[in-house]
Structure 1
């Protein structure tokens, strides 16, 4: 049997994100011999979003049952009684589903701005409930006006797939404290793609922010209009964010396993599995990034790995972020400029990627027009090599790398500020499989290193972010159609900020999920005799504190919930 048939557990469209909530279970719970018809509600080890004390106001953003591919459409009205400036805005999605259903993707847009994206868990016959929270303060500009709301979790409900996905989404607005002050945009460190959990409200130990200097709320949040954006003429900092996901049930859902054309594999891509998300401004390369290798909750042919604990970012799809400040001098002419996103490695004409773009802008309140110039633009050679070696075990070895450095300045009301952005990507992978794909194994790593230096209004400040994503696993189909998946996933980021060469802040994040699960193919659900153990450890250390939590589930029972620090 072709493993590819089982692996595509997804028939989805495109949504949401952030920290998943769940009540702490009793320790050392007894696990059954195999999965039954009920299991623990989904939970992750990531810390919850910290919430300020004081006055707050709540607005219901969307409430819907998704049973087909019809989007929910509604309207948003700003909250009354909390003003128009907030110390924090927290989005919460509460979901429930029962019966049988695939994992699904979806989106949530407010005024055309994508603010939230996630995948859904697969339910037990008896039903599950879960909640996801996300800090969406950066979209405050969008929330200050009435807006149209659109939400979609594409879903199929029929006699076999009975799970109706029932969700409610709210926004909670926290009024600022009397002492809150808003520093200038140039004082902020560059936006990074690292996860950003905040202090847990249930612990006294402070949780470090993986971006040592918290990014300030932008003045404007823009979307593309016919592929173009027109920024305010006094923009002094510009960041694009792209919610890039390979999805939709085709091979791009598992892009990291695709093989070059000569290889006898069920998922083909002309040049192999190397993928790179690029953004261009007026046809000029402005940013590069490694996409995160998401594993959704039906992934690697084994939903029994993910029923309780999903893979990293499966319920927290974070945008890739590109600092476009070096292009501000070009963009600030009051005219529309073309912004395009493409994914390197996808065969021409093949779909399977979603990449909506938001543009975040910080303005110089004391200038009507901020001028500037692009001073440096160096594009390294893109190396992308996949070598196929035939044999009793087929093998594809891939090596890819790319580098981009861009620099520019803006003349602001507080002086000239120069920004230099350097980013380098590397990818190595070894993919092995046998005829019929009864063995299918991958060992892969992606590195995405970025350095952003801001020079002006004081000593030069540099933030370096080193991201590493890893995937090491195998699927085997043995005697009696017994399928086993063993998999380890890693999401790591090290961030450090220096001023005048002296380190002023740092953080280190490691989110690792390990699993081993087996089940019997081609039999009714109650005869699968599925077993599985999944564990997650989420560690976040830095100059602002420490967070360390471990979870383990066995046959759907949460047997460990341990906190260190």
Structure 2
């Protein structure tokens, strides 16, 4: 019975994936107690120390004494992520959505471009302000404008007295979508009843900054019945996929799945290796490692997440695939089948959502850009999970994949060849005891890609190295005391070179650590819940630096330090 409680809480709560995938909404996790809720998804908070959590900043860091355990009120959610930079000068704001989510009914409205800021912008910033009080699970949500998914998020779990939070995101790349009147659809699927009382109240705005636009896509497309028709003069094509495993089932914590014959409560024949693939007309066009999101009810312990969420929990970032090598094939004016799949998901099992946007840059001087795919080299998919029985059961997993594609387009400024190389790797060690009163994982994922563009002038190469880490354990003692210790890492390195010389670089290291405990199977006032969490977000590069650290103890923000 203990494990049923733990697994239901690992699932965090009933998320929206069932609705996103077209299934009926799943019920709330049956064994989780209402007072122990916490949420899931990922979003970046906006602003500096005084801005990054909106109203949360009004509760300043308090180095004073903290309560012995969580009460009915705690600091509003906050992250150490940097603010979205904003240009100076004239700006215009449009309210996109104002809604209260009580069930699985989407908000539907209309969007019109702003007056007084033209139709070309140097930056467009989305801001979502949310508030909720009472009891509620974490919920997953999306925002579509004109059918384009511009934002995917999840929610924190509230205090009985209520919390407020804000998220900002740079959405300038969707400028083409914002230039006309569009339908709006937003949903944060929720359940409100006599037990789960939290109504999620949100407002979303877009702020437009007039000025010279950056190199944004000329078109933003979505798939129609699984097909894509690009403009015939497309010279660069990038697909983005908002991939999330969620929905309350085992794919919400896919990284713990164990193969047969391992005696574990979540099974997958191939073990925990997951890979998000995109195909064009049945041909593999891109591979990627999914980010191991931990929502704010995750790892059996909502007390880890009340103040500081895990990386990307409130701003789900899309996976990007450069499909430019396929542009010559796609530019024939016909629809082409584009499919996204997740390697490792058991056949017939739901739990993943993967909506696709396609960003297109066009050659204004040509009606038709021709070209061809010249290289398509796929390495063997490595996926090995070895089960070792014992007093501590163990599954060791090693997986990886490589893909190289290259193609050219003949543009008005000459022939341009694009070569994309991508290499994935995953190593993990999963340990647990009978009854799963110990459950521990140490895992690393790497996603290394390079894009080389060779045309007029020296060749330019951008190399992006992504590393995700998860090192944690859940232990339930004989006294029903559950303790979770967890460290999460989200690291990225990007270097651009031209003719062998570095022209731009950046490095990001977002590290979360948490240690929280509470007593199972007792009323809320007897849980003796305690938790210490911290986050340090470091970003350095050609554009400057950001280094901020946060610490919370029992819901009190005790440190908020900025080093640069």
Q: TM over 0.5, yes or no?
A: yes
Other-structure match for 1:60: 95
User: In structure 2, how many angstroms separate the alpha carbons of the residues matched to 1:270 and 1:163?
Assistant: 38
TM-score by length of 1: 0.92
User: In structure 2, how many angstroms separate the alpha carbons of the residues matched to 1:228 and 1:429?
Assistant: 36
Instruction: Show CA shifts across 1:2-34 (max 9, x none).
Output: 132332222111488433422272452431111
Name which of 157, 177, 182 aligns with 1:147: 182
User: In structure 2, how many angstroms separate the alpha carbons of the residues matched to 1:387 and 1:354?
Assistant: 28
C-alpha displacement of 1:299:
0.2
Structure 2 residue matching 1:254: 3-state secondary structure = helix
Residues 128-277 of structure 1 correspond to what in structure 2 (within 5 A)?
128-176=163-211, 180=212, 216-277=215-276
1:448–1:467 contact (8 Å) kept in structure 2:
yes
Other-structure match for 1:199: none
C-alpha displacement of 1:528:
1.1
Structure 2 residue matching 1:523: 3-state secondary structure = coil
Structure 2 residue matching 1:103: 3-state secondary structure = coil
User: In structure 2, how many angstroms separate the alpha carbons of the residues matched to 1:549 and 1:344?
Assistant: 36
Cα 1:472–1:154 change in 2 (3 A) is: same
C-alpha displacement of 1:136:
0.5
User: Unaligned regions of 5+ residues in structure 1, if any?
Assistant: 183-215
User: In structure 1, how many angstroms separate the alpha carbons of the residues matched to 2:77 and 2:458?
Assistant: 46
User: In structure 1, how many angstroms separate the alpha carbons of the residues matched to 2:319 and 2:9?
Assistant: 30
Name which of 32, 44, 50 aligns with 2:67: 32
Residues 31-50 of structure 1 correspond to what in structure 2 (within 5 A)?
31-50=66-85
Other-structure match for 1:529: 528
2:42–2:311 contact (8 Å) kept in structure 1:
no
User: In structure 1, how many angstroms separate the alpha carbons of the residues matched to 2:499 and 2:429?
Assistant: 42
Other-structure match for 2:36: none
Other-structure match for 1:370: 369
Structure 2 residue matching 1:121: 3-state secondary structure = coil
User: In structure 1, how many angstroms separate the alpha carbons of the residues matched to 2:45 and 2:217?
Assistant: 22
1:30–1:559 contact (8 Å) kept in structure 2:
no
Other-structure match for 1:491: 490
1:107–1:152 contact (8 Å) kept in structure 2:
yes
1:16–1:107 contact (8 Å) kept in structure 2:
no
User: In structure 2, how many angstroms separate the alpha carbons of the residues matched to 1:281 and 1:468?
Assistant: 27
Other-structure match for 2:502: 503
Structure 2 residue matching 1:19: 3-state secondary structure = coil
2:132–2:200 contact (8 Å) kept in structure 1:
yes
Name which of 126, 132, 136 aligns with 1:91: 126
Other-structure match for 1:469: 468
Structure 1 residue matching 2:175: 3-state secondary structure = helix
Cα 1:395–1:16 change in 2 (3 A) is: closer
Other-structure match for 1:8: 11
Other-structure match for 1:358: 357
User: In structure 2, how many angstroms separate the alpha carbons of the residues matched to 1:82 and 1:261?
Assistant: 60
2:406–2:420 contact (8 Å) kept in structure 1:
yes
User: In structure 2, how many angstroms separate the alpha carbons of the residues matched to 1:289 and 1:505?
Assistant: 23
Cα 1:88–1:167 change in 2 (3 A) is: same
1:385–1:398 contact (8 Å) kept in structure 2:
yes
Instruction: Show CA shifts across 1:85-118 (max 9, x none).
Output: 0111111000000001010001110010000001
2:79–2:550 contact (8 Å) kept in structure 1:
yes
2:42–2:313 contact (8 Å) kept in structure 1:
no
RMSD (CA atoms)? 1.1
User: In structure 2, how many angstroms separate the alpha carbons of the residues matched to 1:104 and 1:27?
Assistant: 29
C-alpha displacement of 1:409:
0.5
